[in-house]
Chains A and B, each alone.
Chain A
Amino acid sequence: MISRLGPTGRRVAAAIVLAAVLELVGAILIDGFMSEFSVRSMLVLASLLGVASIGQTLVVLIGGIDLSTPFVIGFANVVAAQLYGEGMNFAFVCLVVGAAALAIGAINGALSSTLAIHPLIVTLGVGTAVQGAVLLWTAGFPAGSAPEAVTKFVSIGGHAGPLPVPWLIPSFLILLALMTLVLERTPFGRQLYAMGSNPQAAPYALISPRAIWTATYALSGLFAATAGVLLLGFTGSAYGDVGQPYLFQTIAAVVIGGTTLVGGRGGLIGTAAGALVLTEINTLLIGLGLSPAMVEAALGMLILALVSIYGREPHVRASI
């Protein structure tokens, strides 16, 4: 069974097992770790991280990386609050923010693929400029708040019909299933994997690298913006730096979830498990009574320990 999974499947399975084990460890070590409130809040936090990480996974699958994620999250967070505060219809606000995020992402992808520039620098530069523009617009003091519907949608105490979790959780799972289907069963999804596993060969399979890169980065921008709007509902007020922790956390979730940064291998289910693992570790460390500083250091060590167990790269000699 395990051998049939292949190396990527094994990594994904490891991430899922890890999430379960951490839940168990937490239950043993910390009183109340399995309490309803604690489980609910972990699910909500993991889903918020998961939404942003879906976009990161897509760009990593084509062999890229998106450092603009935290800036786009902040952009969506602030702009949505500001526009809604000015009395704009919220559905229209989402449309505007979504279109802008798609455009930002498309610029990232088109620039890096057309001019063959490293996406690390392009996304960093574009992200920095976007953040500067948002700060300039709001003069550094964003105003406005989220509509009640969004707040309810992500509220830890919320209910999705008969389910004891807010609508965010089932919606995230549906989104995850849909995107997995897109990756596994549509031409776009297969082209994405082909692009990532062999960028030189992809054009011979009539795959346009520029089109794939542009579309994928645009999607990454859209998912980051979605996370930004959801975070607005979660925290209640706009904050330009709300996305900052997501810069490295999305990358960590992707890698813990078994997707390799060289591209072409991995998937979204692993990433969702990775987001859950990161959230559990964080909750566990805080629950153990560590100071925020030590939580950060311990998180670093645990990420390294986990990835060194099942996320190792092949030796050079294996690539000859």
Chain B
Amino acid sequence: MTVATAYPARRSAGARWLRWRLAERRETGFAIALFVVLLAMNVLLNPARFALGAWGATIGLAAPLIAASIAATPAILGGRGGIDVSVGPLMGFVNALIVQTLIADAGISSPWAVVPAALAVGAVAGALNGFLAVFVRIQPIVATLGTYLIFTGLTLTIAPAPTGTVPPWIQSLSGQLSIVPLLALAGVWLGIKQLPYYDQLMAVGSDDRAAYTAGVPVAWVRFLSYCLTGVFAGTAGLMLTALIGSADPNVGASFTLLAISAVALGGVSLGGGRGGVLAAVIGASDIFLLQSALTYFNVSTFVLQIAYGLILVGSISLNGLSAMIERWRGR
């Protein structure tokens, strides 16, 4: 008797879980479909760029955006308006620090110094964002907007104009070895997913009040998510440096909005608690492939901009539409 009553309850919970997982796949599903279509289009249109031997360079071209979208994800997953708009300027700041301060001024160009430096700067910047957003409790978009301005200003002070060169090992990170930093980021994220921290982050993102009453240290979980975002953004700054091969104070900031668009396009909920790094990567790849295909058609950048805006709104709308249909059916 007790088993009979307990069983349906358990099954319905299981069914709900399954539907939730599927719902999540559906949101990313559009991004995956778009990815397949765009990739096929690109390979057909531009076989040279997507030939087997050219994959290193192609991935290197896409890497800063992909890494930026990975970086934007943890803070967003934390929920309650969690977002880091300083990701782009932080990438630019790391770029200027590496090329100007470290390599040109101090003459340090060993990977064993440069990589830890980039990660450390990212971690400190992320901790600053986390401190402001979580402990000072400034609304995240405003807190990170403040640091956005600070990083932009500091970058322009270090390197007022494009300048400098990078050693060969950094250049190779946008060539044959371009997949290495991305694999490292993926590895770190997969590692985090095994930790209890990941579950806590998703719990805080879905319902911070429930998580708080359940004893989850909500503030620290969110703080760490900003630190992760910072470290990832530091890595993204390194990849940006590899791609442009110099210090450029003007390229970083543009990555913020692209990264947040990529994250949303991939199906990560900006409300927190749903989605993950893989979804963000697919969203970023979509944007990259779209840009790549449109550039091949040799359309003006203006048309590219229109198409980019419309596809962003269109695919997000499709996601929203199918979610709405599902809610109707559920009733």
Given contacts A131-B305, A136-B302, contact A297 B152 (CB under 8 A): yes
Tell me if A292 and B306 are in contact (CB < 8 A).
no
Segment at the A interface, from B62-70, B107-115, B136-144, B178-186: B136-144
Inside 8 A of A292's CB, which chain B residues have their CB? 156
Q: Give the total number of A-B pairs whose CB atoms are below 8 A apart.
A: 173
Closest to B160 in A: A293
Return A112 CB to nearest CB of chain B, in Å.
9
A114, A133, A299, A316: residue with the most chain B Cβ atoms closer than 10 Å: A316
**Are B149 and A296 in touch, CB under 8 angstroms?**
yes
Query: Is the Cβ of B320 less than 8 Å from the Cβ of A117?
Result: yes
- Whether A316 contacts B139 by the Cβ 8 Å rule is no
Q: Are A128 and B309 neighbours in the complex by a CB distance under 8 Å?
A: yes
User: For residue A307, which residues in chain B have a CB less than 8 angstroms away from its CB?
Assistant: 138-139, 142-143, 146
Contact (Cβ within 8 A) A120 B270:
yes
In the complex, are the beta carbons of B81 and A262 less than 8 A apart?
yes
Q: Choose, from A20-28, A73-81, A166-174, A247-255, the stretch at the interface.
A: A247-255
Known contacts A298-B153, A311-B142: does B137 contact A122 (CB below 8 Å)? no
B305 touches A291 (CB 8 A): no
Report which of B141, B157, B310 forms a contact with A129, defined as CB distance below 8 A: B310
Closest to A249 in B: B145
Instruction: Say yes or no: is A30 at the interface (Cβ < 8 Å to chain B).
Output: no
Q: Is A157 an interface residue (CB 8 A)?
A: no
A295 at the interface (CB under 8 A from B): yes
The CA of A221 and the CA of B22, in the complex, are separated in Å by 37
Closest to A131 in B: B305
Does A312 belong to the interface (CB within 8 Å)? yes
Q: Is the CB of A140 within 8 A of B302?
A: yes
Determine whether the beta carbon of B271 is less than 8 Å from that of A118. yes
Instruction: Verify if B208 is at the interface (C-beta below 8 Å from A).
Output: yes
B136 and A111 form a contact (CB under 8 A): no
The secondary-structure label for the interface of chain A is helix
Interface residues as binary, A295-318 with B (CB distance below 8 Å gives 1, 0 otherwise): 111111101100110011111110
Is B23 in contact with chain A by the CB < 8 A criterion?
no
Partner of A136, one of B139, B303, B313: B303
Instruction: Please encode chain A, from 101 to 125, with 1 for each CB lying within 8 Å of some chain B CB and 0 for all others.
Output: 0000000000100111110111011
Q: Is B103 an interface residue (CB 8 A)?
A: no
**In this assembly, does B261 line the interface, its C-beta being within 8 Å of a C-beta of chain A?**
yes
Which residues in chain B, 26-75, are within 8 Å of chain A measured between CB atoms?
none
Q: Which residues of B contact A313 (CB under 8 A)?
A: 137-139
Q: Are A129 and B212 in contact (CB under 8 A)?
A: no
Which residue of B is nearest A111, CB measured? Answer: B317
Q: Report yes or no: B313 in contact with A111, Cβ–Cβ below 8 A.
A: yes
Please tell me if A260 contacts chain B, counting CB pairs below 8 Å: yes
B contact residues around A50 at 8 Å (CB)? none
Q: In whole angstroms, what is the CA distance A298 to B312 when docked? A: 34
Evaluate contact between B320 and A121: CB separation under 8 angstroms. Answer: no
Determine which of A117, A132, A294, A301 lies in contact with B305 in the assembled complex, contact meaning CB atoms within 8 Å.
A132
CB-CB under 8 A for A320 and B209, given A295-B153, A313-B138:
yes
Which B residues are CB-close (under 8 A) to A65?
141
Q: Is the interface of B mostly helix, strand, loop or mixed?
A: helix
What separation, in Å, do the CA atoms of A299 and B316 have in the docked complex? 34
Chain B residue with Cβ nearest A293:
B156
A248 touches B148 (CB 8 A): yes
- Once the chains bind, are B212 and A121 in contact (CB under 8 Å)? no
Distance, CA A291 to CA B249, complexed state (A): 15
Q: Which residues of B contact A130 (CB under 8 A)?
A: 309
State A303–B139 Cα separation when bound (angstroms): 12
Complexed CA–CA distance, A155 and B111 (Å)? 56
Q: Answer whether A300 and B142 are a contact pair too, CB < 8 Å, given A116-B324, A136-B306.
A: no
Among B146, B154, B323, the one with the most A-chain Cβ atoms within 10 Å of its Cβ is B146
**CA–CA, A293 and B249, complex, Å:** 11
Q: How far is the CA of A142 from the CA of B150 in the complex (A)?
A: 32
**Which one of B138, B149, B260, B300 has the greatest number of beta carbons of chain A within 10 Å?**
B149
Q: Which residues of A contact B153 (CB under 8 A)?
A: 293-300
A261-B139 contact in complex given A121-B261, A128-B312, A297-B149, C-beta closer than 8 Å? yes
Q: A118-B271, A293-B157, A296-B152 are in contact. Are A125 and B309 (CB under 8 A)?
A: yes
Query: Which residues of the other chain, A, contact B137 by a CB distance below 8 angstroms?
Result: 312-315
Is A39 in contact with chain B by the CB < 8 A criterion? no
CB pair A297 B157 closer than 8 Å? yes
A268 to B63, alpha carbons, bound, how many Å?
43
Indicate if the CB atoms of A303 and B323 lie closer than 8 Å.
no
List B contacts of A118 (CB < 8 A): 264, 269-271
| A37 CB to nearest B CB, Å | 27
22 contacts between A and B (CB under 8 A): A116-B320, A118-B264, A118-B269, A120-B83, A120-B270, A122-B316, A128-B306, A129-B309, A129-B313, A133-B306, A260-B139, A261-B139, A262-B81, A296-B153, A297-B157, A299-B149, A300-B150, A300-B152, A301-B146, A313-B139, A316-B208, A320-B209
Which 8 A-B pairs have CB atoms at the shortest separation, nearest pair first? A297-B153, A300-B149, A115-B320, A129-B309, A132-B305, A293-B156, A128-B309, A132-B306
Residues of B at under 8 Å CB distance from A? Answer: 81, 83, 132, 136-139, 141-143, 145-150, 152-157, 160, 208-209, 212-213, 218-219, 257, 260-261, 264, 269-271, 300-310, 312-313, 316-317, 319-321, 323-324
